[in-house]
Structure 1
Amino acid sequence: MSVSTSGPGRGVVVTGGGSGIGRATALLFAREGAGVLIADVDGTAARAVAEEVEQAGGTAVTVIGDLREQAVVDRVAATAAEEFGGIDVLVNNAGVMDSMSAAADTGDDEWERVIGINLTAPFRLTRAVLPYMLDAGKGAVVFTASEASLRGSAAGAAYTASKHGIAGLTKSLAVMYRDKGIRSNAVAPGGTVTNIRVDADRGAHGPAALAPYMGAVGSPSRAEEQAAAIVFLASDAASNINGAILPVDNGWSAV
């Protein structure tokens, strides 16, 4: 697959690149010839993935920090542009789950953490990267949305709201920048084998209300299957796909 990032001095930013879907995505982009910036709050994990990329003959740099901090966002954008001579692709992948809490049981701390990481941080990073893409007259933004972007029965109130927000942001960007050579799409993973933990009290109202719907999840995907869809959406093969939320869920959204 020919990615729109491949070529000398061009680069990809992958957030949450130290594990799970982000790790698989960073490795696949590197195999396609792109330079990859791996952004993650876990420095050990990010550096380990960068070493994997480099051992395979690719180019990777890391930025460590919490993307809820504007200074970290700015550092990611500036570092990628400096290291690679431009930013062709931004993969907004970093995210956290909630505790499956219903709205009445969702505290301010949980709400602000989930919204901050899952929605505000991707917005801010997209805003920081857009000037580089606009200068180049091209670019692709790919978000990791969720099955919870498509329905109300896949997670708690905070996570569901954050991922519905990602779907809206994806579509807004597609409309606003389609005449500037910039595309915006998202994958909507179903159950996927990653290290994201769900710390839910199964006796609470939220998890109990959701339980009847979770049987339709089906077999979980591998992180590499999600990565393949992300790289496709950023590739030249998807050049006329813009504003799409692509379910990668083994048919869960069709149930």
Structure 2
Amino acid sequence: MLSGRVAMITGASSGIGAAAARLFAAEGAAVVLMARRGDRLASLAEEIRAAGGRAVVVEGDVTSSSAVERCVETAVDAFGKLDAAFNNAGYATIGPSLHEMTDEDYVRTMDVNVRGVWNCLRYQIPAMLASGGGAVVNTSSVAGVLASGASAAYVAAKHAVIGLTRAAAREYGDRGIRANALVVGSTRTEMMDRVLSDSPQLEERFVAHTLRRSMAAPEEIAQAAAWLCSERAGFVTGTAMPVDGGRTAV
């Protein structure tokens, strides 16, 4: 489904990002993996190459424009182009009420989830334009369409991701670039495990809110991202696609 494509994946060291890296590579894409944990990236890239795939890594934080620029340049230098991107890096906390949130928590939440996507888009889009177009998928959340119970800053940030996605789709649609967002529901990742270790009572609530009565596996979210990056979704752009087990259907 992704044969011949070159895909940049952020937040690739664990969870949804790592699942996407394996899937994109298995489907024929050359993958450029970015995250802060370089040791994990190196291990994942070695695993992908051992299975016959192509992978390079860039250790860095999406809040740094220079790190994102370096990642895009690495993609072009290593594989000649960039025509797919899964901007998945994120930061979440089950925080206090809005009026009790600290400046530090607010800034970190907005920086990773909004500035991170902004940084990626502004370097990925020129590279895609140079290669004749491409597809971008940004990870939002049910918090991007609902006041889901997450912190107010996280709700605001994930709404902003959908806004950036739609703006990019509108601005570059006639130049061959598609942009879509995933409205992701509760997913069994390391970040979720950390949340549940602090607040185990939340698991029952998360599961009860889905029609499927379970959390997603990271691979299920990765499948949606891969489809949106492929030509099978060639007429899909500007959408916020739920991958949430029915959370936003009721």
What TM-score do the two structures reach when normalised by structure 2?
0.92
1:56-110 CA-to-partner distances (Å, cap 9, x unmatched) read: 1001000002221222111111111111100011110000112333210111100
Letter in 1 for 2:230: S
1:192-233 CA-to-partner distances (Å, cap 9, x unmatched) read: 01011338986xxxx99xx97874143101000000000001
Q: Is residue 152 of structure 2 the alignment partner of residue 163 of structure 1?
A: no
Q: Is residue 191 of structure 2 the alignment partner of residue 198 of structure 1?
A: no
Match of 1:230 in 2: 225
Residue 31 of structure 1: how far off its partner (Å): 0.7
CA distance in 2, matches of 1:230, 1:19: 16
Identical-pair percentage: 39
Q: 1:130 aligns with which of 109, 116, 125?
A: 125
Residue 28 of structure 1: how far off its partner (Å): 0.7
| Contact kept? 2:207, 2:215, Cα under 8 Å | no
- Residues paired across the two proteins, number: 244
Residue 154 of structure 1: how far off its partner (Å): 3.8
Residue 35 of structure 1: how far off its partner (Å): 0.6
CA distance in 2, matches of 1:154, 1:78: 38
Match of 1:221 in 2: 216
| Contact kept? 1:98, 1:199, Cα under 8 Å | no
| Contact kept? 2:206, 2:215, Cα under 8 Å | no
Residue 150 of structure 1: how far off its partner (Å): 1.1
Match of 1:44 in 2: 39
Instruction: Call closer, same or farther: CA 1:253–1:136 in 2, change over 3 Å.
Output: same
Within a 5 Å distance, the mapping from 1:175-214 to structure 2 comes to 175-196=170-191, 197-198=194-195
CA distance in 2, matches of 1:29, 1:168: 26
Match of 1:17 in 2: 12
What TM-score do the two structures reach when normalised by structure 1?
0.90
Instruction: Call closer, same or farther: CA 1:201–1:16 in 2, change over 3 Å.
Output: closer
Unaligned runs of 5+ in 1: none
Unaligned runs of 5+ in 2: none
| Contact kept? 2:137, 2:228, Cα under 8 Å | yes
| Contact kept? 2:91, 2:112, Cα under 8 Å | yes
| Contact kept? 2:207, 2:214, Cα under 8 Å | no
Residue 137 of structure 1: how far off its partner (Å): 2.0
